[in-house]
């Protein structure tokens, strides 16, 4: 595998390997908090924040704890531990220091603990053997890809709300169809190799 460039990483994380629509990671918040564009943006920002930090800490834990001790098979369990603790910690810090940000992110922060996209990015970093810088960048870019997908999706759902949808498709059914069509659209990017 050739050494990736930052631009290449950005484009692949945003489009060709979009976390939600191509890799199918983080589907729960994608469907759960995409009713309004505002909340979708809030969720996207919170995920970006957590994924960048989580990428850094999981990289450090892997590099300086697991590899020297030959315990790579503990990655999943240790990463979950780190992410959960990190999200809790970040939540407390934000609550104390930035109440305005806390009330706008609100419930989304604790929800991210169970977002598999965060664990996914941590494991992918290891799999692709990225260095510290690239791990953090990949975490950030992947989360931006998540944000892009969820904001677009929320926009479409807001529009659909105004439209005359057959009664049996109201709510989740039409949302799932929308998500499927969006995923197909994003498959179109997969022809580009970067």
Stretch that binds another protein, among 44-52, 74-82, 136-144, 154-162 (CB under 8 A): 74-82
First-to-last alpha carbon distance for the chain, in angstroms, is: 11
Shortest distance, CB of residue 64 to another protein, whole angstroms? 11
The reply on whether position 96 binds another protein by CB under 8 A is yes
**Which of 7, 77, 163, 168 lies at the binding interface for another protein (CB under 8 A)?**
77
Nearer to another protein, 92 or 177 (CB): 92
Nearer to another protein, 27 or 74 (CB): 74
User: Of 10, 14, 21, 20, nearest to 185 (Cα)?
Assistant: 21
Nearer to another protein, 85 or 184 (CB): 85
Shortest distance, CB of residue 176 to another protein, whole angstroms? 25
Dist. CA 184–CA 18, nearest whole Å? 12
Nearer to another protein, 85 or 185 (CB): 85
Residue where the block lists tokens 């590899």: 67
Dist. CA 151–CA 145, nearest whole Å? 10
170 close to 163: Cβ distance less than 8 angstroms: no
132 close to 64: Cβ distance less than 8 angstroms: no
**Which of 6, 65, 133, 184 lies at the binding interface for another protein (CB under 8 A)?**
65
- CA-based torsion, 164, 168, 170, 175: positive or negative: negative
Considering only residues 35 to 64 of the shown chain, the ones binding another protein according to CB under 8 A are: 61
- CA-based torsion, 7, 10, 14, 18: positive or negative: positive
Nearer to another protein, 171 or 188 (CB): 171
Positions touching another protein (CB under 8 A) are 61, 65-66, 69-71, 74, 77-78, 81-82, 85, 88-89, 92-93, 95-97, 99
């Amino acid at each position: 595998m050739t050494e990736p460039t930052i631009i290449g990483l950005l484009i692949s994380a945003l489009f060709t390997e979009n976390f939600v629509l191509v890799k199918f990671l983080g589907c729960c918040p994608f469907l759960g908090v995409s009713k309004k564009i505002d909340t979708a943006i809030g969720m996207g920002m919170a995920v970006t924040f957590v994924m960048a930090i989580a990428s850094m800490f999981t990289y450090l834990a892997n590099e300086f704890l697991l590899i020297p001790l030959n315990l790579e098979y503990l990655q999943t369990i240790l990463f979950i531990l780190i992410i959960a603790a990190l999200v809790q910690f970040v939540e407390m810090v934000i609550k104390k220091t930035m109440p305005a940000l806390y009330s706008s992110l609100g419930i989304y922060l604790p929800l991210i603990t169970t977002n598999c996209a965060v664990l996914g990015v941590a494991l992918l970093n290891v799999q692709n053997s990225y260095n510290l810088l690239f791990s953090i960048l990949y975490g950030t870019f992947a989360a931006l890809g998540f944000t892009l997908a969820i904001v677009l999706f929320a926009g479409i759902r807001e529009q659909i709300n105004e439209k005359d949808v057959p009664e049996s498709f109201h709510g989740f059914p039409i949302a799932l169809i929308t998500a499927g069509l969006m995923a197909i659209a994003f498959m179109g990017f997969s022809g580009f190799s970067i």
